Amino acid sequence: MFKHLKSFLSGFDLSYADRSQRKNATINPQVIFFELIKLWPQIVGIHLAQHSTPLKNTHKTLTILTDHPQWAQELSFLEKKIKQQIFKIIPQFTFEIKKIKFQADNTFFKNQNQRLLDTPPPCPGQGETISKNKNNSSADLHPFSPEYLKYKKEASNLFNDIEDEETKDLLTSIFITHKHQNKKSV
């Protein structure tokens, strides 16, 4: 007379086994979030991804960090479309995101870009000479040191005939650097 719940549910689309597997399956939310960060350019496009990045997902609110308030406003207009793209690409986020909040913080993007600019790939054989030149030129010679003032006076006497101030300053700088490097190497 009475049927087991298992046999009753087998007639429906959701089987008992599927439900128990879904209930017991634990997917680490951090792994899913890192997947979102990795796929962010695919979700919003390369251009918008250069100006925004997912920051956190707390209390079913996804926080997106942008490099300027204008980008935050622009992305807020696309909130529904962004959610649809996220749910399409990462279905695990379907019940994890109810709304999206946008924050503007330029320092994160400046630091990220600065790290990329500070560490250019060295050219073979040139990496050592560039770093030696940087260390020798301006690090040891202060603009108010007697040596610098002496070199500057020599350069101004030497380049007195040049009328263009920008060219004169450039040649003076080259002259001082050259004199200083020659003195150090001797």
| CATH number, position 74 | 3.30.300.180
Taking Cα atoms as reference points, which of 144, 169, 147 lies closest to residue 159?
A: 169
Same domain, 143 and 177: yes
Report yes or no: 99 and 60 within 8 Å, Cβ to Cβ. Answer: yes
Check residues 175 and 21 and name the one with the higher pLDDT: 175
Amino acid occupying residue 74: E
Same domain, 40 and 109: yes
Looking at every residue in the chain, the average pLDDT score rounds to 77
Report yes or no: 51 and 90 within 8 Å, Cβ to Cβ. Answer: no
Check residues 10 and 158 and name the one with the higher pLDDT: 158
Same domain, 81 and 148: no
d(CA 107, CA 147): 39
Overall number of domains in the chain: 2
Q: Looking at the domain assignment, is residue 11 inside a domain?
A: no
Please state the φ and ψ torsions of residue 175, each to the nearest 5 degrees. -60, -45
Same domain, 72 and 146: no
In percent, the amount of the chain with pLDDT more than 90 equals 26
pTM of the model: 0.48
pLDDT tens per residue, range 75-92: 999 999 999 999 999 888
Joined tokens for residue 100: 């999206």
Among 65, 82, 113, give the residue marking a domain's end.
113
Q: Looking at the domain assignment, is residue 75 inside a domain?
A: yes
Among 50, 81, 113, give the residue marking a domain's end.
113
Name the E strands within 9-162: 52-58, 61-66, 99-104
d(CA 47, CA 178): 44
Domain hosting residue 157, numbered range: 133-185
